[in-house]
């Protein structure tokens, strides 16, 4: 197996070990995200205000060019998307930018190749999805 640390869940590991040719499993592929730390105040409890997480007011966005507002996708998402395209899974992959992940049905070999991709943080089974062809 390529990157065992990226593959999470005993169910998925069992699928990779015992899968037959052509058998597919629905998985969630999480792209690497930067490490986030909570702000620290010396002598007091850490404070994390939800107001800091809100986007800036619309008035300040009106004066900025559109490119700065939209931004670029994280590098890891681009790498995972390129790996999905290389494996021929890009057409059926569902992208979730909010969680930084893709949902795709893949074979055991494809899952192992995705685990070796540098931009992949974790691959776990999609438990909400039932396999159609069992």
Asked if residue 53 is part of any domain, the answer here is no
Q: How confident is the model at residue 130 (pLDDT cuts 50, 70, 90)?
A: low
What are phi and psi for residue 2, nearest 5 degrees? -75, -75
Asked if residue 126 is part of any domain, the answer here is yes
**Both ends of the chain: CA-CA distance in Å?**
24
Q: Which of 134, 131, 107 is nearest to 123 (CA)?
A: 107
List the domain range (segments joined by +) for residue 123: 1-33+71-134
Residue-wise pLDDT tens digits, 20-71: 778 899 999 999 887 767 666 666 666 577 776 666 677 766 665 555 434 4
Out of 46-55, 57-66, 93-102, 105-114, which region has the weakest mean confidence (pLDDT)? 57-66
Asked if residue 16 is part of any domain, the answer here is yes
Mean pLDDT of the chain: 78
* Furthest CA-CA distance within the chain: 59
* pLDDT in the model for residue 9: 85
Is pLDDT of 72 > 70? no
Question: Which CATH number covers residue 85?
Answer: 3.30.70.80
């Amino acid at each position: 197996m390529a990157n065992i640390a990226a593959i999470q869940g005993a169910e998925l590991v069992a699928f990779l070990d015992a899968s037959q040719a052509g058998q597919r499993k629905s998985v969630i592929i999480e792209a690497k995200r930067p490490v986030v730390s909570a702000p620290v105040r010396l002598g007091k409890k850490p404070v994390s205000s939800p107001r800091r997480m809100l986007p800036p007011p619309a008035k300040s966005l009106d004066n900025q060019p559109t490119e700065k507002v939209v931004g670029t996708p994280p590098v890891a998402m681009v790498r995972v998307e390129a790996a999905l395209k290389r494996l021929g899974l890009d057409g059926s992959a569902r992208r979730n930018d909010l969680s930084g992940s893709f949902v795709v049905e893949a074979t055991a070999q494809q899952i192992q190749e995705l685990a070796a991709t540098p931009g992949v943080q974790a691959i776990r089974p999609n438990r909400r999805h039932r396999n159609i062809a069992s």
